[in-house]
């Protein structure tokens, strides 16, 4: 499974730690660049190129950021996005994502057709959960989006429903899938059988609120929160189990201020890059048990059949 690290302005992890840079180079991991998130820097990026702007020589996926813009009540201009791709995208990226119109698959298809005719580079179309692809894009790769919102909502069966949706796609097509936002260590391993590549931007946001991730789920660093209600704490024992080379002791994760936040963010990036190393060490049955526990309801026979198909 190929990994793309979602990036934000002002903090590029590979420039902070050689261990991160080495790991990304070894695994040929890439970065996910959002046109929307970096819209204020577009002229600078056009002038020097994506690789120089990020001081990064690996693969780059260009995403329009349409999903984020949509939730901000703003529509991205197809003309501006096309102009950017013509100037920089075709030279600096290995994957370019379509400009989606959220909730309107046919307008998304129209944008995809326009981009395919406008630039000399394959365009990755995106289908959003919970729809099943009703348009034949006639491409070998397709993006699957909209799953993170479902996983964030505390609804019974949301994790399972996403797993079943992925399994259904896999059963009806030979296309390769990119799972947008499914890069947290738990989701990365739980959904690995049906995805060719994934990305993750949550490493930064969760570090800011005091969360560190492991393949067994997120844990809160004790000093980072005042309330302990419903929180699972990040213990020294758990830290030792997944300890990276560039962090020397647990106390660094607990430091107040920017350095503590940076260390938590670097931890999350490192575990994102290395989670698959632990895949064989964690029994699949633990994921099945975890998903059923999250559901907290009786599983239907259709769900059980899909789950068995998915994990086999």
d(CA 124, CA 139): 8
Give the list of residues 6+ apart from residue 26 with CB closer than 8 angstroms, or none. none
Q: What is the pTM of this model?
A: 0.86
Q: Is the dihedral of CA 35, 15, 241, 254 positive or negative?
A: negative
pLDDT in tens, 36-48: 999 999 999 999 9
Helix H or strand E encompassing 211: strand 211-214
Q: How confident is the model at residue 146 (pLDDT cuts 50, 70, 90)?
A: confident
Instruction: Summarize the confidence of residues 96-124 as an average pLDDT.
Output: 93
d(CA 3, CA 24): 9
Q: How confident is the model at residue 166 (pLDDT cuts 50, 70, 90)?
A: confident
Across the strands, what pairs with 31? Answer: 5, 60
Dmax over CA atoms of the chain, in Å, equals: 57
Q: DSSP for 236-261, please give it.
A: HHHHHHT--TT---THHHH--HHHHH
> How many structural domains are present in the chain?
1
d(CA 274, CA 268): 10
d(CA 13, CA 262): 9
Q: What is the pLDDT of residue 285?
A: 52
Terminal-to-terminal C-alpha distance of the chain: 17
pLDDT in tens, 248-294: 667 788 887 888 888 999 999 999 998 887 765 555 555 556 555 55
Q: What is the helix, strand, coil percentage profile of the chain, to 5? A: 50, 15, 35
Across the strands, what pairs with 146? Answer: none
Closest C-alpha to 158, from 169, 168, 145, 148:
148
Structural domain contains residue 220: yes
Structural domain contains residue 269: yes
Closest C-alpha to 27, from 263, 198, 227, 267:
198
Structural domain contains residue 271: yes
Q: What is the pLDDT of residue 167?
A: 81
Range of the domain at 218: 208-279
Based on its alpha-carbon atoms, the radius of gyration of the chain, rounded to whole angstroms, reads: 20
Q: Is the pLDDT of residue 311 over 60?
A: no
Structural domain contains residue 236: yes
Q: What percent of the chain has pLDDT over 70?
A: 82
From 117-121, 133-137, 167-171, the region with the lowest mean pLDDT = 133-137
Select the more confidently predicted residue: 306 or 54: 54
Structural domain contains residue 223: yes
Q: What is the pLDDT of residue 19?
A: 85
d(CA 127, CA 246): 38
Tokens of 211: 């969360």
Q: How confident is the model at residue 17 (pLDDT cuts 50, 70, 90)?
A: confident
Instruction: List the alpha helices (DSSP H) in 64-133.
Output: 66-71, 78-84, 90-92, 105-118
Q: What is the pLDDT of residue 275?
A: 85
- Evaluate whether 271 touches 215 at the Cβ level (below 8 Å): yes
Residue 91, Ramachandran bin (φ over 0: left; ψ between -120 and 50: alpha; else beta): alpha
Q: How confident is the model at residue 296 (pLDDT cuts 50, 70, 90)?
A: very low
Q: What is the pLDDT of residue 312?
A: 46
Q: Is the dihedral of CA 158, 163, 166, 167 positive or negative?
A: negative
Q: What is the pLDDT of residue 290?
A: 58
Residue 27, Ramachandran bin (φ over 0: left; ψ between -120 and 50: alpha; else beta): alpha
Structural domain contains residue 12: no
Closest C-alpha to 16, from 301, 286, 24:
24
pLDDT in tens, 216-260: 788 888 766 555 556 788 888 888 888 876 676 677 888 878 888
Q: Is the pLDDT of residue 6 over 60?
A: yes
């Amino acid at each position: 499974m190929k990994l793309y690290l979602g990036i934000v302005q002002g903090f590029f992890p590979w420039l902070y730690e050689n261990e991160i840079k080495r790991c990304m180079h070894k695994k040929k991991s890439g970065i996910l660049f959002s046109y929307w998130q970096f819209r204020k820097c577009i002229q600078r990026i056009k002038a020097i190129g994506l690789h120089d702007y990020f001081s990064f020589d690996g693969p780059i996926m260009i995403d329009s950021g349409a999903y984020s813009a949509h939730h901000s009540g703003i529509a991205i201009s197809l003309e501006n996005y096309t102009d950017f791709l013509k100037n920089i995208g075709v030279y600096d990226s290995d994957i370019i994502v379509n400009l989606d119109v959220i909730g309107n698959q046919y307008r998304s298809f129209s944008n995809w057709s326009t981009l395919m005719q406008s630039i000399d580079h394959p365009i990755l179309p995106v289908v959003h959960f919970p729809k099943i692809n009703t348009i034949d894009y006639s491409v070998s790769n397709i993006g699957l989006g909209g799953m993170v919102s479902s996983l964030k909502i505390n609804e019974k069966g949301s994790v399972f429903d996403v797993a079943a949706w992925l399994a259904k796609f896999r059963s009806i097509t030979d296309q390769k899938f990119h799972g947008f936002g499914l890069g947290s260590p738990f989701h990365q391993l739980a959904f690995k059988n049906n995805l060719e590549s994934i990305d993750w931007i949550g490493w930064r946001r969760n570090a800011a609120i005091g969360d560190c991730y492991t393949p067994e789920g997120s844990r809160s660093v004790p000093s980072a929160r005042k309330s302990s209600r419903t929180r699972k704490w990040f213990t020294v024992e758990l830290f030792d189990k997944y300890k990276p080379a560039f962090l020397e002791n647990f106390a660094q994760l607990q430091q107040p201020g920017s350095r503590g936040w940076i260390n938590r963010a670097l931890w999350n990036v490192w575990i994102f890059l290395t989670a698959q190393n632990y895949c064989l060490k964690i029994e699949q049955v633990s994921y099945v048990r975890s998903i059923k526990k999250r559901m907290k309801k009786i599983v239907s026979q259709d769900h059980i059949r899909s789950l068995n198909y998915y994990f086999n």
